[in-house]
Each structure stands twice: as C-alpha cells, then as structure tokens.
Structure 1
C-alpha cells in the first residue's frame, strides 16, 4: 500500500468538490499522517497471530497529538475505552500499551474505511462538524471518498487479513451510523475475500451516546468459537 494512489483519488475528490485551493496544504498533513498511521497499523497487525474479530471504524482523528487507537502514546477515548474491554473480558488492563497487547492476544483487529484522518484543525474538510473554517462532509461526499479509495486502501487491508483470518471470524461496525451509510459499499469486498458470507453477517457494537455497547460486544465474544 502506498500514499501516491490514495493521493490521486484525494486530489480528484478535492477538484470534484470545489476544494482545489486547499489540496496542497491539506495534502502535506494527510500524507505524513497516512504514512505514520499505516506503519503503526502494519507493525501491530504483524503481532496478531489469528484475526478472530474485525472491527470496522472510520478514520483516526490523528492531528498534532497523533490520536489513534493503535498509538500507545495517546490515551483511549470513547471510541474504545480500555475499561470497556476490561469489563468484557473480566481482566485488569493497566494502560494503553496493555490494551493494545490484549486486543492482539484475542485477535481483535480494527480497520478504517477511509485512509484520510480529516479533522477540523488540520484540513478544510472533516467528518464531524463545520468549525474553524473546516466543512463537514455530507454523507454523499463521504461515500464518494470511500468508494474512490476502496481499491487503494480498504481492499488492500482486507486482502492482507485473509491469510490470518479465523474460520469463524466475526465482523462488526464500531458505529451504527457508519454501518447504515457504508455497509452496502464495503460489504462486497468483505464477501469477495470471504470475511463474511452475506451483508447480513455484519453487526455493530454502538449504543446511544456514542460509547460501546458492552452487552453486544460481550455477546459477540462469548458466542465465538474462538473464545
């Protein structure tokens, strides 16, 4: 996987959406972020023996503090608190590094649908809100961006997983809203690489308020033959 192919798609997206003037500045941040995030993800992926659980997420916030679920130097957030995992597994998890280690031990892998950590401080477009002169992508724009980058990002990660996936791998979205808006788009890739049999096999672990529904997540783990 390389940034160049994703950059080509991103530039096309900016041009199509009247954002050409912001591309060069945004791209400097996005290229550096992409390369760092991918290295962290790949190094972590190599530590997983078998992928038993596949969580589909959006994209890291990243930014100056390099906020990312697999960055041991940043704290957990509502996206996935270490206390949530500790409660589900009935284990003490001391810090972020321990959290990542335990995720790897149980074969839980997180894959984003977008290669770009857009946010309201570093880019002129973002995924969440209109603020600081940065505009929130509409769902139509967001879907366009994901479709453009599936062959150069999401599909390549899913292909890499095939050699490590469990026969009984469980796949789920972190957020229901992401499932509702992108399930149709990414399910073809998951079916093609035999991660799932049908689109109906993909669940979610979200709850009202944004946190993880620990009951849903625990049920996925407890019912898995990989437990």
Structure 2
C-alpha cells in the first residue's frame, strides 16, 4: 500500500494498492492514521458494491446510526451529521459517482480565527437542528406547519453542544457549527448571539457562494475512487445532487 500527499491541495492523501475487501489489519491501521493526519484519504482503483462499503466500514469500526432519515434532505449545504448527535462518529465512507464535494477543515478554520473570535467562543454553545433543510414526505403536504415541526423535532430533536471541542485523536481544537444545521449560538453567559453565528459562518467560508474562500477544498474524483474522511474535523457540501449518494458513518472502536 502506498500513501502520498495530494499535490497542490491543503489536505488529503491518495492511497494506492489497498484492496478494500482484503486489506490487512495493519493496512487499515495505517489508513486510519492517514485520515486523522490528513483529513481525507482517496482509495484508488476500488470496485465495490454498497455491501462492500459497509463491510469496510465494519472493519474500520462500528457503524453509526442516524436520526430519522426521512426528514433529511440531500446535502446541498454545509453540514456534518455529527452535529446532530451527542456521540459524534469518526469516519465517513463514500463511493461517489456523480457529485464532487466541497470540504472545510474546521480545525484549521479555528486556528485561523482572529484573537477576538477565539475569545468569543470560549464557553460558548451551539444548537443544531434539521428543521432548516428538512425534507418532507408527500403525505405531509396537508399537515399544519406546527404539527410538522413537532413531528420533525420529535424524530430528530435539536442538539446543543460546546461550539469548540478537542479532537479525541489529534488533540486539535475543532469548531462545531455549520450553515446547514446550526440554528443558534449562545455565549458563555447563555445569551443568544446571532451576530456571532453570522460572523463565524462568514469567516470560516460557509457563506462564500463562489467557493473560493481559502478554507474551502474541492474534492474531485475519478471512477473507482473510494473516499474516507474525518467527520470530527470536516464539514462538507455537495456541489449538486438530485439523488444523494450513500455515505457510511463509522465510530472508531
């Protein structure tokens, strides 16, 4: 197995010579180490089915279960599913066929914050919800909005977490918020801070619709590429999707 840095990119590695179905435990340990160090690993030359991706995920750790999937819309917005759980998962695996994806490393984004913003997020919390982008079923069309809100929040309740937390594997401070799911930010005193939320979204690059911000990384792919990325550090945004491609989420251990 050969692991090389992706030339000209801020992060990410290319992995060649790894057979997803037959990889040794030593190779998988090296793959995990590379993902934690470089955020995304692109496994080249893979020919896998959905079951094959699930099998690789099982060998990397324990598969994560999501909130109610029926109310989750395709990811044409900045998000990471870890924001909707109190037990964040570690890896995501995808075998893309159509959709290039943008990523932001939220550990690097935190390091680039100004001194005043780093001070402002000390002790702050953020609340995350699917409501902004909830995808409803045809049967929901005739239901009152108030009832729909109760249904959605009952199946996928809002989660409030610290806005910064240390990465359990790397020790980096990671900024936890996204344009797609973060609905509010509260400062250390508990006061709602919409101004702070707006400023953080802007400086991290999530409001830049040109996707030219220094924090934004475009991950392209070729046929046979299988992506494994660090969900504790990265948020992502599909450039376009009419039909979302499956992602397998995994706890490490």
TM-score norm. by structure 1 comes to: 0.28
Structure ID, larger Rg:
2
TM-score by length of 2: 0.26
Higher RCO, 1 vs 2 (CA within 8 Å, ≥6 residues apart): 2
